[in-house]
Chain A
């Protein structure tokens, strides 16, 4: 007896595929329904452009946190991109294949370390070092940037390595046959061809940095102030939600959902940019 015919399997797969889509849709709808009315209620200006966050007093300005998120993400890019790019060039172009087979899985392992472990190292090792040798409270934009920069390294590295490896060998040979040295070949022929893939990797890393919560809560200090220097402590959008959701009710709870809406918008823009640059890459290669 035939239990699973072609059609029933197909239908089953359709249901499974759509359930993922449904989950996404429900999450979106829920956040928007809870958050959007709040934003219009309190006024976009009062919500987005004010730094006054005092839920008990009915003040819900998240500007300082938007700035905090952007600072920390920018810092992560400053730390992560040069390291990731240089590492990817070295690994893809200079490393013998047998060493690559050891190092690539190690990089992927780096991506598998739980964020709380990164945060723990940040609190116990990095923050005291910054406090003692550079100044400030230690728990700061700088600490968060360094920790996040390391956390997004695997993303940037593996996508960049893949896109450098995807450049056809004939590109390199073309450059070599014009008398280019190895380094000239890399930066004049290989990297321009791999550019959109590398940018996509950076944007995905950026999305990861802006969405990261646990490690940032542990090392950023979480003070709701407009930071004046990289040594100041900040609170990010994600940290704001995670820190206060336990006891928030009423308007306060809605304010946290609204924070989620802003976060979602930022991440959607980033993902869209990543998709477009990946599409460009595919068209060109």
Chain B
């Protein structure tokens, strides 16, 4: 299998604060990667540098390389909007737009200036089906997305991404506002999505990382302490710090 994403010596500074310290990571195609670690360890920052979301923040400096299919996303003149279409993101809190359910899912298609109404309806339906929402929502596609319960909204945000068919889906603690049952649904969906997409998930929840991911990275204070197969990380960690964290002695 090919390498989808390769991160080489990535350093990131917020003004003077060194948030990522020479991080290296190789993501193989059609996998779920989990990033774990205590709050403030840089896992969200790392995630956000894969679709250049950190560019929105003032005072960020980045050096190193992030290769997507072998091409550096920072220095090769890759169009940032095309990049973000290929690398989509799901956020901690669902951020459904103040629009109808239909328009939320169609958003990315409108951004891409797709005008064919029939095609748009088809894609909206397929995306909602994949996200497991179609049966619940098909009769109220015109109502405001903000009136849905949070767990529906979060899945709607995933459906919204699926509509633009990204290659990589970044998830920043997508279940932190959800209850265990809704979390389980999202996890089932991730396993299903893995067949077509690459998923990188940041999570506070070690059990979640163990349940869903194929590879896992443990981060601490901006360092990638250990990156390995999930089974290895949880049963046979090489680094003492990883062991302390997963056994609950720290963090």
Contact = CB atoms under 8 A, between A and B. Distances in A.
Interface of A: 97, 168-181, 184, 188-189, 192-193, 195, 284
A97 B57 CA distance: 12
Say which size band chain B's interface belongs to.
20 to 34
Interface stretch (B105-113, B194-202, B208-216, B226-234): B105-113
Given A173-B91, A174-B96, A180-B107, 9 more contacts: A170-B93, A173-B53, A174-B91, A176-B84, A177-B53, A177-B161, A179-B112, A193-B97, A193-B98
B17 interface: no
B53 A184 contact: no
Contacts of B88: 177-178
A117 to B, nearest CB: 39
A179 B89 CA distance: 10
Tell me if A's interface is mostly helix, strand, loop or mixed: helix
Interface string B147-165: 0000000000100110010
Given A180-B81, A195-B98, A175 B107 contact: yes
A97 B146 CA distance: 30
A97 B59 CA distance: 13
Interface in B63-117: 81-82, 84-85, 88-89, 91, 93, 95-99, 107-108, 110-112
30 contacts: A97-B58, A172-B56, A173-B56, A173-B95, A174-B89, A174-B97, A174-B157, A174-B160, A175-B97, A176-B53, A176-B56, A176-B84, A177-B84, A177-B89, A177-B161, A177-B170, A178-B108, A178-B161, A179-B81, A179-B82, A179-B85, A179-B112, A179-B164, A180-B107, A188-B97, A188-B107, A188-B110, A192-B97, A193-B97, A284-B98
Nearest to B87: A177
B146 to A, nearest CB: 6
Contacts of A189: 97, 107
B98 A180 contact: no
Interface of B: 51, 53, 56, 58, 81-82, 84-85, 88-89, 91, 93, 95-99, 107-108, 110-112, 144, 146, 157, 160-161, 164, 170
A170 B160 contact: no
Contact of B108 (A97, A172, A179, A192): A179
A99 to B, nearest CB: 13
A189 B104 CA distance: 10
Nearest to B98: A193
A171 B111 contact: no
Contacts of A184: 111
Which of A97, A168, A173, A174 lies at the interface centre, i.e. has the most chain B CB atoms within 10 A of its CB? A174
Given A177-B89, A184-B111, A188-B110, A171 B97 contact: yes
B93 to A, nearest CB: 6
Contacts of B111: 175, 178-181, 184, 188
Contacts of A181: 81, 111
B56 A178 contact: no
Nearest to A179: B85
B160 to A, nearest CB: 7
A173 B90 CA distance: 10
A193 B88 CA distance: 21
Given A179-B164, A180-B111, A188-B107, A174 B95 contact: yes
A177 B97 contact: no
Contacts of A284: 98, 144, 146
A176 B53 CA distance: 8
A96 to B, nearest CB: 8
Contacts of B85: 178-179
Contacts of B58: 97
A203 to B, nearest CB: 19
Contacts of B98: 192-193, 195, 284
Contacts of A178: 84-85, 88, 107-108, 111, 160-161, 164
In the A-B complex, list the 8 residue pairs whose CB atoms are closest, starting with the nearest.
Answer: A179-B85, A177-B89, A178-B108, A170-B95, A174-B95, A193-B98, A180-B111, A179-B84
